[in-house]
Amino acid sequence: MDILIKGAIVITQDSKRRIVKHDILIRENKIEKVQEKIDEKAELVIDAKNRIAMPGLINMHTHVAMTLFRGYGEGLPLDRWLKEKIWPMEAKETGADAHVAAQLAMIEMIRSGTTAFNEMCLLGAKEIGKAAEEAGVRGHVCQGLFDLLPGRTIKGELAVMKDTAFPKSGLVSYGVGPHAVYTCSEELLRKSKEFAIKEKRKVHIHVSETRKEVFDTQKKTGKRTFEYLDSLGLVDSDSLFAHSSWVTKKEISLAGKKKLNIIHCPVSNLKLATGGICPVFEYDKSGANVCIGTDSVASNNSLNMFESMKLASLLQKHKYWKADIIPYSRILDFATRNGAQALGIDCGRIEQGALADIVLLKPGPNMTPMHDPVSNIIYAANPSNVTDVIINGRPVMVEGKIKTLDEGAVLARAQELSREIQAR
Amino acid sequence: MDILIKGAIVITQDSKRRIVKHDILIRENKIEKVQEKIDEKAELVIDAKNRIAMPGLINMHTHVAMTLFRGYGEGLPLDRWLKEKIWPMEAKETGADAHVAAQLAMIEMIRSGTTAFNEMCLLGAKEIGKAAEEAGVRGHVCQGLFDLLPGRTIKGELAVMKDTAFPKSGLVSYGVGPHAVYTCSEELLRKSKEFAIKEKRKVHIHVSETRKEVFDTQKKTGKRTFEYLDSLGLVDSDSLFAHSSWVTKKEISLAGKKKLNIIHCPVSNLKLATGGICPVFEYDKSGANVCIGTDSVASNNSLNMFESMKLASLLQKHKYWKADIIPYSRILDFATRNGAQALGIDCGRIEQGALADIVLLKPGPNMTPMHDPVSNIIYAANPSNVTDVIINGRPVMVEGKIKTLDEGAVLARAQELSREIQAR
């Protein structure tokens, strides 16, 4: 479908970060023109006067299959929460449940301006991919692998790894998800990466989320987490490193040298009281490719990237006791251009030739006045401002209405299913 | 107007914090009944099936006259931002401008579920009160007093204090606002409190926001900030203490003993990189009355209390490295019951006899499933969920439409005016 967006304030996120009042013409799945005035016919014409057009946000770390557990067992101490609530629920979840959970997540993501996500799932990679395709959301889905957990074996996990390396289908590609250094053996970590290289896939892994993880890794291997992973060959720009909070300056410098994709999840880190704040400022300065993720709703409890961008910005100010430590415009880069770079997808900017992943915002009272649209996006926007979402040239939300899924039916089914799983 | 709310999930915030599926009958400005089924006639009947009814949020520290400066001069270092941007703009603002700024703030607050606010303004107390009355929002407005600033005198500030001690009018009452220990002389602080006692007003003051303030106070007076204020007679439960972050255990114990109203502003503290995190957990345990505020949009940049509640909760987990340090239900108390107690208003709960300040939430995808409505309110809700707002028995927003002000006109005027002030 050809789409013409008229008269928007366009946050281009191009190499000059231009902000212009322009029309945008979308043909098939790409941006064909961004110009002051475009007088061409299109099947869908959106009057975007006084609205902001920005590249869709890219949520670089989440677990959408957990969306049915939002608020479940809330408030318990971490170990009881996991053992008594989350793990028993996860053990009862099926691939079909993950499909519903993912549909719910897709709707929440669209409504909060997210157009692409990077997933690690316990199960249901195929069903999650299916939900993303149905919703029209761009996805990178990785089945989590864990041979050090009870009942799991290296043989079994390697089989799972191969079985879930589905070919790219529509908007969804599949990666390799060795969970973390404390849940994967050295062999599994090494073989995951070898497989990923052979199959041209990305590795998605949790790294240095907690102090305990770093302590245990050092005790076991004599190395810090990134150094240990480096010794196994996993540390390169084709891997996606969630959290990466508890690190040394040497590891930050390694991340810069190798242009690592560092995924900061500020809300989840605070919610789980991991203590450390990811040194985003230093990573960015070092040359690493910093991205932002929400993590799952079990430790957030939302998939709202506006919130995660704001908190990412605030936490750096807090960490370094310096209000201007990182330009707020850089935070938008993390959530757009940098996410696109990490996934190797040509989106994250509104420019001729780029994939058409575009979000329109209507500035309500909370984005008025508009002294500075980027400041308003980072510090003042919320999902109530999102009116239209286009992904790969397809309008998935128009004037506040989800076009690709039956929202009411998905929400009702998700509510019902969350009770059913509990009762199993 | 009599209002009947049918079949809501009611977060009563009563003494037992009951959550019930009930009808709510409002007559005049009060809640007349909360019962399983109410079959009475009412002029407005709201079908609230599957919706949450909660007490309106109370924003206990803000500066609504600054709402026109949202994002203005964003990203500059703090001193340049104040000197080159904010102060020159404030110097050009008139009472009439403050009226528009306040109207904009009222709309933003209503849309984010806030039904009462506590203000400190540089000017325009009367106009801000007028905007609150027009919007139908409950307000406590305090003219800021500052005799240590250039061009100000104790005589002048005492005159301002008396001139702005307007009588209560409708939903708006007026307090006394000595700005802070570093902007007010000992005499002004003392006389503010004497006047407040005589006139039965509350004092609203900034305390221990930054380390520098504490250091300077100690150097000048030999006392910590709360101790210094105590020696001047300002420390009692009729005062409202914004920030209160950089304190000793002795000051926290004083706050508990005297049941002080401690107003935590988590977003603003991070945004201005004040470094310290208010020890909310310890204040609450000591017996102090902890409340939550957004501060102004100049240092936030929103008036969204859902965001401030979530961040208040997250920051305590982070500060104490303990995910269950404060029950999340307690955070809702801070933003409802405790705010009401601080202002001496009988709202903040949905119970027979209380003032009818009620917010309805429609759980979208971000509040689905509903394992736990309070968890969803604290960690997952955003302004897109707010559908209806009733204040003092008056519907100020119905099905997403503001009833008391012309929203489009206010937003357009605010945008225009923010440019006009710059150009003056």
Structure tokens at B68: 């026109």
pLDDT at B87 over 90: no
Instruction: Check if the beta carbon of residue B229 is closer than 8 Å to that of residue B181.
Output: yes
Residue B157 has φ and ψ, to the nearest 5°, of: -70, -35
In CATH, which superfamily holds the domain spanning A3-55+356-402?
Answer: Urease, subunit C, domain 1 (2.30.40.10)
A88 neighbourhood in chain B, CB within 8 Å: none
Q: How far from the centroid of its chain's Cα atoms is residue B184's Cα?
A: 23
Chain segment A130-146, per-residue pLDDT in tens: 999 999 999 999 999 99
Cα distance from A268 to chain B (closest Cα, Å)?
A: 9
Q: Does A108 touch chain B (CB under 8 A)?
A: yes
pLDDT at B69 over 90: yes
Cα distance from B71 to chain A (closest Cα, Å)?
A: 6
In CATH, which superfamily holds the domain spanning A57-343?
Answer: Metal-dependent hydrolases (3.20.20.140)
Q: Which of residues 259-288 of B touch A (CB under 8 A)?
A: 267, 269-273, 275, 277
* Nearest residue on chain A to B317, alpha-carbon basis: A273
A327 neighbourhood in chain B, CB within 8 Å: 75
* Nearest residue on chain B to A300, alpha-carbon basis: B379
Cβ distance A382 to B379 less than 8 Å, yes or no, reads: no
Q: Does B401 touch chain A (CB under 8 A)?
A: no
Q: Does A400 touch chain B (CB under 8 A)?
A: no
Cβ distance B321 to A275 less than 8 Å, yes or no, reads: yes
Question: Between B90 and B131, whose confidence is greater?
Answer: B131
Cβ distance A323 to B380 less than 8 Å, yes or no, reads: no
Cα distance from B294 to chain A (closest Cα, Å)?
A: 12
- Backbone region of residue A71 per phi and psi (left: phi > 0; alpha: psi in -120 to 50; beta: other values): left
* Nearest residue on chain B to A414, alpha-carbon basis: B369
Structure tokens at A103: 């549909």
B269 neighbourhood in chain A, CB within 8 Å: 318
Q: Which of residues 21-50 of B touch A (CB under 8 A)?
A: none
Pseudo-torsion of CA B51, B56, B57, B61, nearest 10°? 160
Cβ distance A112 to B366 less than 8 Å, yes or no, reads: yes
Residue B34 has φ and ψ, to the nearest 5°, of: -130, 105
Cα distance from A106 to chain B (closest Cα, Å)?
A: 9
Cβ distance A77 to B307 less than 8 Å, yes or no, reads: no
Cα–Cα distance for residue pair A108/A418, rounded to 1 Å: 16
3-state per-residue secondary structure call for chain A: CCEEEEEEEEECCCCCCCEEEEEEEEECCEEEEEECCCCCCCCEEEECCCCEEEECEEEEEECHHHHHHCCCCCCCCHHHHHHHHHHHHHHHCCHHHHHHHHHHHHHHHHHCCEEEEEEEECCCHHHHHHHHHHHCCEEEEEEEECCCCCCCCHHHHHHHHHHCCCCCECCEEEEEEECCCCCCCHHHHHHHHHHHHHHCCCEEEEECCCHHHHHHHHHHHCCCHHHHHHHCCCCCCCEEEEECCCCCHHHHHHHHHCCCEEEECHHHHHHCCCCCCCCHHHHHHHCCEEEECCCCHHHCCCCCHHHHHHHHHHHHHHHHCCCCCCCHHHHHHHHCHHHHHHHCCCCCCCCCCCECCEEEECCCHHHCCCCCHHHHHHHCCCHHHEEEEEECCEEEEECCEECCCCHHHHHHHHHHHHHHHHHC
Which of B367, B369, B418 is the closest to A371 by Cβ? B418
Cα–Cα distance for residue pair B392/A147, rounded to 1 Å: 60
The pLDDT value recorded for residue A376 is: 98
Q: Which of A280, A318, A386 to mutate to test the interface with B (most CBs of B within 10 A)?
A: A318
Which of A273, A325, A364 is the closest to B322 by Cβ? A273
Domain ranges of chain B: 3-55+354-402, 57-343
Contacts of B412 (CB under 8 A, 6+ apart): none
Cα distance from B345 to chain A (closest Cα, Å)?
A: 27
Structure tokens at A388: 């239209």
Residue ranges in chain A whose pLDDT is less than 70: none
Cβ distance A365 to B411 less than 8 Å, yes or no, reads: yes
pLDDT at B345 over 90: yes
Mean pLDDT for the stretch of residues B215-239: 98
* Nearest residue on chain A to B417, alpha-carbon basis: A369
The amino acid at residue A329 is: S
The pTM of this model reads 0.98
CATH code at B3-55+354-402: 2.30.40.10
Cβ distance B382 to A379 less than 8 Å, yes or no, reads: no
HSE-up (13 A, CA, CB side) for residue A14: 13
Nearest to A381 by CA among A112, A115, A137, A58: A112
Q: Which of residues 403-422 of A touch B (CB under 8 A)?
A: 407, 410-411, 414-415, 417-419
A77 neighbourhood in chain B, CB within 8 Å: 323-324
Q: Does A99 touch chain B (CB under 8 A)?
A: no
- Backbone region of residue A17 per phi and psi (left: phi > 0; alpha: psi in -120 to 50; beta: other values): left
Integer CA distances (angstroms), A4 to A39, A48, A256, in order: 9, 10, 40
Mean pLDDT for the stretch of residues B372-397: 98
Spell out a b/e string for A324-357, using b for 16 or more CB atoms within 10 Å of the CB, else e: bbbebbbbbbbbbbbbbbbbebebbbbbeebbbb
Sign of CA dihedral A346, A347, A351, A357: positive
Cβ distance A71 to B366 less than 8 Å, yes or no, reads: no
Q: At what angle do helices B407-423 and B95-111 cross, to 10 degrees?
A: 140
Q: Does A370 touch chain B (CB under 8 A)?
A: yes
Residue B165 has φ and ψ, to the nearest 5°, of: -85, 65
Cα–Cα distance for residue pair B309/B382, rounded to 1 Å: 11
Which of A112, A270, A382 is the closest to B315 by Cβ? A270
Structure tokens at B173: 């009452």
Cα distance from B304 to chain A (closest Cα, Å)?
A: 8
Please report which confidence band the pLDDT of residue B143 belongs to, taking 50, 70 and 90 as the band edges.
very high
Cα distance from B402 to chain A (closest Cα, Å)?
A: 11
Tell me the percentage of chain B whose pLDDT exceeds 90.
96
A380 neighbourhood in chain B, CB within 8 Å: 70-71, 297, 301-302
pLDDT at B387 over 90: yes
Cα–Cα distance for residue pair B154/B158, rounded to 1 Å: 6
Cα–Cα distance for residue pair B126/B119, rounded to 1 Å: 12
Q: Does B327 touch chain A (CB under 8 A)?
A: yes
Cα–Cα distance for residue pair A248/A243, rounded to 1 Å: 14
Nearest to A120 by CA among A76, A184, A74, A56: A184
Whether this model's ipTM surpasses 0.90 comes out as yes
Q: Which of residues 204-243 of B touch A (CB under 8 A)?
A: none
Cβ distance A273 to B323 less than 8 Å, yes or no, reads: yes
Q: Which of B268, B366, B378, B420 to mutate to test the interface with A (most CBs of A within 10 A)?
A: B366
pLDDT at B353 over 90: yes
Which of B70, B77, B411 is the closest to A323 by Cβ? B77
Contacts of A311 (CB under 8 A, 6+ apart): A266, A267, A270, B311, B314
Cβ distance A303 to B366 less than 8 Å, yes or no, reads: yes
Cα distance from B39 to chain A (closest Cα, Å)?
A: 28
Cα–Cα distance for residue pair A366/A361, rounded to 1 Å: 12
Cβ distance B371 to A320 less than 8 Å, yes or no, reads: no
Cα distance from A202 to chain B (closest Cα, Å)?
A: 29
Q: Does A82 touch chain B (CB under 8 A)?
A: no
How many Cβ atoms are within 10 Å of B170's Cβ, its own excluded? 14
Cβ distance B323 to A78 less than 8 Å, yes or no, reads: yes
Contacts of B180 (CB under 8 A, 6+ apart): B205, B206, B207, B209, B213
Please report which confidence band the pLDDT of residue B223 belongs to, taking 50, 70 and 90 as the band edges.
very high
Which residue in the block uniquely carries the two structure tokens 């006009």? B420
Cα distance from A411 to chain B (closest Cα, Å)?
A: 6
Chain segment A61-118, per-residue pLDDT in tens: 999 999 999 999 998 887 888 899 998 999 999 999 999 999 999 999 999 999 999 9
* Nearest residue on chain A to B374, alpha-carbon basis: A71
Same fold, A3-55+356-402 and A57-343: no
Q: Does B423 touch chain A (CB under 8 A)?
A: no
Cβ distance A322 to B273 less than 8 Å, yes or no, reads: yes
Structure tokens at A310: 């704001």
Nearest to B380 by CA among A51, A71, A141, A54: A71
